[in-house]
């Protein structure tokens, strides 16, 4: 519906949002992304971060590299537009005990490669997109596949 829509510009926007959201997650500070994620996703992220805080854990996401960005779906429903972007990326993903700085799970040296589908949404006519949902392709998440 947007005659000014540019696929390459949108993919750049999606990448920028990907890095901002991953950074906010690692810092456990959602205030910097509250305008670019849906209220539902904000509540979900806050619940997860609160659980980590309660357990004294920090989920570190480092050395993030996006290998592929592809728009895989787009459309309209219920007065909203949506675009789903497939990210193929790799990173270091591990959890540490906040008190001891010991790694509890994951690896600080072995990167993992993963595929996630991020669905962005906005009301028809709005200019700003927000992230509405993330789906991970769990069969693909693998440290053995990183080269």
CB-side neighbour CA atoms (13 Å) of 133? 6
Q: Determine the structural domain holding residue 75 and report its residue range.
A: 7-136
147 in any annotated domain: no
Find residue 134's DSSP bridge partners.
118
Give the CATH number for residue 47: 3.10.450.240
The domain tally of the chain equals: 1
142 in any annotated domain: no
Encode the chain (147 residues) as per-residue pLDDT tens digits: 677 789 999 999 999 999 999 999 999 999 999 999 999 999 999 999 999 999 999 999 999 999 999 999 999 999 999 999 999 999 999 999 999 999 999 999 999 999 999 999 999 989 899 999 999 986 555 444 333
């Amino acid at each position: 519906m947007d005659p000014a829509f540019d696929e390459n510009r949108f993919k750049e926007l999606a990448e920028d949002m990907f890095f901002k959201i991953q950074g906010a997650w690692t810092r456990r500070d959602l205030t910097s992304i509250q305008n670019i994620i849906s209220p539902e996703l904000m509540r979900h992220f806050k619940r997860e971060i609160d659980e980590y805080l309660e357990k004294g854990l920090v989920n570190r996401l480092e050395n993030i590299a996006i290998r592929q960005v592809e728009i895989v779906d787009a459309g309209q429903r219920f007065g909203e537009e949506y675009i789903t972007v497939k990210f193929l990326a790799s990173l270091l993903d591990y959890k540490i005990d906040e008190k001891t700085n010991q790694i509890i799970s994951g690896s600080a040296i072995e990167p993992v490669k993963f595929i996630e589908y991020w669905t962005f949404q906005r009301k028809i006519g709005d200019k700003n997109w927000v992230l509405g949902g993330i789906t991970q392709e769990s069969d693909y998440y693998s440290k053995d596949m990183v080269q």
